[in-house]
A and B are shown apart, each in its own frame.
Chain A
Amino acid sequence: MIGRVVALARKELRQLFASPIAYVVGTAYVALTGIYFFQHLVSYNQLLFVYQSEGLTGGGFDQGTVPSQINVLNEVFVPSADDFGLFLLVVLPLVTMRVFAEERANGTDELLLTSGLRPWEVAFAKHGVTYLFVLLLLAASAIYPAVVVARAGLGFEHLFALYVGQLCYGCAIASIGLACSSFTSSQIVAAVIGYAIPFVMLDFAWLSNAVSEEVAGRLKEIALLSHYGTFPRGVIELSHVTYFASIVFLGWLASLTSLELGRAR
Chain B
Amino acid sequence: MKLGNYQVKLEKKLRVGGWEAAGISILAILIALLLVSVIFLEAKVNPLDGFTSIFTYAFADQFGVPLTINRSIFILLCTCAFIVPIKAGLWNIGMAGQLYGGALAAFGVAYAFGASPSGSQNLTLAPGLIIPLMMIGAALGGALVGAIPGFLKGRFNTNEIVVTMMLNSVAFWLVAFMIKDGGPFMGAGGEGEGFILPPSLDAPQILGGPYTILLALLLAGFLYFMFARTKLGYQIKTYGQSPSAAKYAGISPYNIPVLVFVIGGLLAGLAGYHLFAANPGVYKITQNYGDFGDLSFYGVICGLISLENPLAAIPIALLFGGLTSGARFVQGELQMGFGVDYAMLGILMITLVAFQFFYRNKIVWKKLEKEK
Q: Do A and B come from one complex?
A: no
Chain A: residues with CB nearer than 8 A to chain B?
Answer: none
Chain B: residues with CB nearer than 8 A to chain A?
Answer: none
